[in-house]
Amino acid sequence: MKKKPIIIGIGELLWDVLPTGKKAGGAPINFVYHASRLGAESYAISAIGHDPLGDEIMQEIEKIGIGHLIERVDYPTGTVLVELKDGIPNYTIIEGVAWDHIPLTDAMKQLAKRADAVCFGTLAQRSETSRETIQTLLSFVPEDAYRILDVNIRQHYYSKEIIVSSLRNCNVCKINDDELLLMKDVFDIKEKNDTDACRWFVETFNLKYMILTAGADYSAIYTHGDVSHIKTPKVKVADTVGAGDSFTGAFISSVLAGKTLAEAHQAAVDRAAFVCTRAGAWVTES
């Protein structure tokens, strides 16, 4: 019997404070949650505060049953104010919080050595401490593992330097259509259409997969020699919080399970569509 793949998400763990109340989330943690729902042995790596919000989020992590290496630090547990307009979220991300100060531990290094996939983002690298932890941890990940970069452009928390170093550290890149526009500008490839731009990233950074999600329209996944393009199914949207993370978690889980590009892409589309019909990122099938 083949062992379960080991999938890690490192970065922000926080409360999304929605108009309807707070929901636990954070892109890399959303990713591993959905990977765990699809059969992976999943681990969240982050930091929370010595505060009631930290206690509550640990209870949520325990409830959903994913593995974790979550440190308690002397900063408040992260929060994000989420405003929804027609189900589309707008984020106000609080600074100077626990996930800006993720310490690197020996347990994290040992786990990284066993990883089949690790997901990290640009957002958690806004602080020097977490950036160093993430980039050092990636150096312990096996050469043949999937290193998934989630380009999450939020407010002013990004720079070309962080984006370039992250692309050099990854072999899978996930981006949405708005972020692709900004990336074209950052890399001065504005004249390229979306397909040519994605192919440019695949070739320039030697990516195994370039994942582009375009909301309610379509998604596309590019490799060196192939592309899969699927129209987004129409569903009744509760909100889109965590939809992209669920897409990537389902795709990587499916690839690790031996699915073809087209099969893995379809599984990702189905998972993201389902998540959009529920409030928040950590949804259950029941």
Q: DSSP assignment of the chain, as one string?
A: -PPPPEEEEES--EEEEETTEEEEE-HHHHHHHHHHHTT-EEEEEEEEESSHHHHHHHHHHHHHT-EEEEEEESSPPEEEEEEEETTEEEEEEPSS-GGGGPPP-HHHHHHHTT-SEEEEESGGGGSHHHHHHHHHHHTTS-TTSEEEEE----TT---HHHHHHHHHH-SEEEEEHHHHHHHHHHTT-TTS-HHHHHHHHHHHTT-SEEEEEETTTEEEEE-SS-EEEEEPPP---S--TTHHHHHHHHHHHHHHTT--HHHHHHHHHHHHHHHHTSSSSS----
Query: Would 81 be classed as within a structural domain?
Result: yes
Query: Would 259 be classed as within a structural domain?
Result: yes
pLDDT at 246: 87
Judge whether 247 and 219 are in contact, CB under 8 Å. yes
Query: Would 101 be classed as within a structural domain?
Result: yes
What CATH number should be reported for the domain holding residue 251?
3.40.1190.20
Query: Would 215 be classed as within a structural domain?
Result: yes
pLDDT at 1: 42
pLDDT at 238: 59
pLDDT at 53: 96
Would you state the structure tokens that stand for residue 246, as one six-digit string?
């669920």
Distances (CA, A) of 40 to 112, 157, 249: 15, 30, 10
Crossing angle of helices 243-256/261-276, nearest 10°? 150
pLDDT digits (tens, 9 = 90+) for 17-52: 877 888 888 888 889 988 888 888 999 999 999 999
pLDDT at 136: 97
The C-alpha atoms of residue 23 and residue 30 are separated, in whole angstroms, by 11
- Of 85, 92, 44, the C-alpha closest to 65 is 44
Query: Would 1 be classed as within a structural domain?
Result: no
Low-confidence ranges of the chain (pLDDT < 70): 1-2, 87, 154-157, 237-242, 276-277, 279-286
Query: Would 286 be classed as within a structural domain?
Result: no
pLDDT at 276: 63
Q: Is the sign of the CA dihedral 140, 134, 28, 61 positive or negative?
A: positive
- Of 235, 262, 237, the C-alpha closest to 251 is 262
pLDDT digits (tens, 9 = 90+) for 118-153: 999 999 999 999 999 999 999 999 999 999 999 987
Neighbours of 13 (CB within 10 A): 32
Domain residues for the domain of 73 are 6-276
Would you state the structure tokens that stand for residue 219, as one six-digit string?
């998604």
How many residues are given for the chain? Answer: 286
- Of 220, 283, 282, 285, the C-alpha closest to 9 is 282
Query: Would 60 be classed as within a structural domain?
Result: yes
pLDDT at 149: 97
Q: What is the CA radius of gyration of the chain?
A: 17
Query: Would 126 be classed as within a structural domain?
Result: yes
pLDDT at 85: 77
Number of domains making up the chain = 1
